[in-house]
A and B are shown apart, each in its own frame.
Chain A
């Protein structure tokens, strides 16, 4: 029965805010984003849906600082001072950064990709641990403890010493999630991380994502082509079509969300909007 707006303030304040103002981006003369305005509040879970090739992933990569906008502004704002995670390079409290500088400051922006992107030459535990320990501020011992704890959270402690190639796709994504969690993200960007998983594993992962988001209080932006997934997880569903935000819909049903009539109505509504729009 927890809703974002009613969530505990402590958790909410761990999240970063995101502001996009009139963001434009072209690739090879083709304008993918044509003036996107979007604000994500701290601790919010926003799902971005839309046809493939319409710039959903580009939008996410702009927020991540992996791409630079041709024009417009992308701002990621760290949480207020009172609850800034201490130590490793949190964004300066309460201040807004142009995202490039923000990323350069080793911020709490983390991203999960469609493929887990685990380093094949590191065992599971080391894949998680390097996300804690590179600052040198944390001792080796505590880094290992935190990594084990994160693996516990995703239920993979027994696989700590396995090589990534021995894991299933779902397990790899869980390790990737543990790696993101262990670095105490303020903003977690999810680029269809569940897209390649089978239906059952995907449901499990959705539960796990939701649970992690609720306990850690980061801001989450999920790109997905699966509208049901968006309805199940998001506080807000944003439809990107024709290079713009075509729909911005709140989802207020209580969590965890059952696939009841209200759920299906919402899914139908968003789907109708996607199918109603033209190709981009």
Chain B
């Protein structure tokens, strides 16, 4: 297992080394792409001055707040529509219709509504994360084995007890898939929103650096987004391991 995960790292490490060597040799000019070392150096400098942490903090807060609102709404709607047939008949087709609008197409409208402040970013992230969360929660509740629900009813489980012992844990694997997906959407949305218009955050840092042709900072911003995305994905996987210890993993762990 250990040797295997090391094998997985061999190609990326080699690629980064090659990049560094080609950059040092002048094959790749710094105007096209700075070397990994230069990017790292820019990161260290910005970390020292404190700018880096401020921008990362602002971006993370936007992703967090937007995600909490959007995924929370999606979760509640998904559970509601999954459990209460009337709610599903009333709301599901409407939600499906709104879902077909790409939320990033709303960027101009959102800027007109909210300006370029925090509300605009939170709103976009919330909108983007709501649907994957809704769809997966709804699907999760709907695909619970009806035999288990029948059994639980027979044993007198009703209302909240039925929800707590059967419906929620039964839907949880699917909910967590939605959560992972929604986290990905949250970061993508934020990148687009921050790159188009912002006065703080990683996107602002990158666009600012572009004005002054600071290639190393531009690449640093991209790497930061990648790292933050990976980090939230790891967190979601950690939740899966913590909340779904009963799941049989077929074919071992995925990468």
Contacts and interface: CB of A to CB of B under 8 A. Distances in A.
Interface size for chain A: under 10, 10 to 19, 20 to 34, or 35 or more residues?
Answer: 20 to 34
Given A130-B165, A134-B161, A121 B172 contact: yes
B155 A134 contact: yes
Contacts of A29: none
B144 to A, nearest CB: 10
A217 B238 CA distance: 48
Interface of B: 145, 147-148, 150-152, 154-157, 161, 165-166, 169-170, 172, 244-246, 248
Contacts, number: 50
Given A134-B161, A163-B246, A121 B169 contact: yes
Nearest to B147: A117
Given A66-B150, A164-B246, A165-B248, 7 more contacts: A113-B147, A117-B145, A119-B169, A121-B169, A122-B246, A134-B161, A165-B246
Nearest to A110: B154
Interface string A179-218: 1000100000000000000000000000000000000000
A250 to B, nearest CB: 30
B154 A64 contact: yes
Interface residues of A, dominant DSSP? loop
Contacts of B172: 121
Contacts of B248: 165
10 contacts: A66-B154, A110-B155, A115-B147, A117-B145, A119-B165, A130-B157, A134-B155, A134-B157, A134-B161, A164-B246
Nearest to A109: B154
Nearest to A107: B156
A150 to B, nearest CB: 14
Contacts of A121: 169-170, 172, 244, 246
| Most chain A beta-carbon contacts within 10 A, residue among B152, B154, B166 | B154
A220 to B, nearest CB: 16
A106 interface: yes
A131 interface: yes
Contacts of A113: 147, 151
A131 B155 contact: yes
A239 to B, nearest CB: 26
Nearest to B156: A106
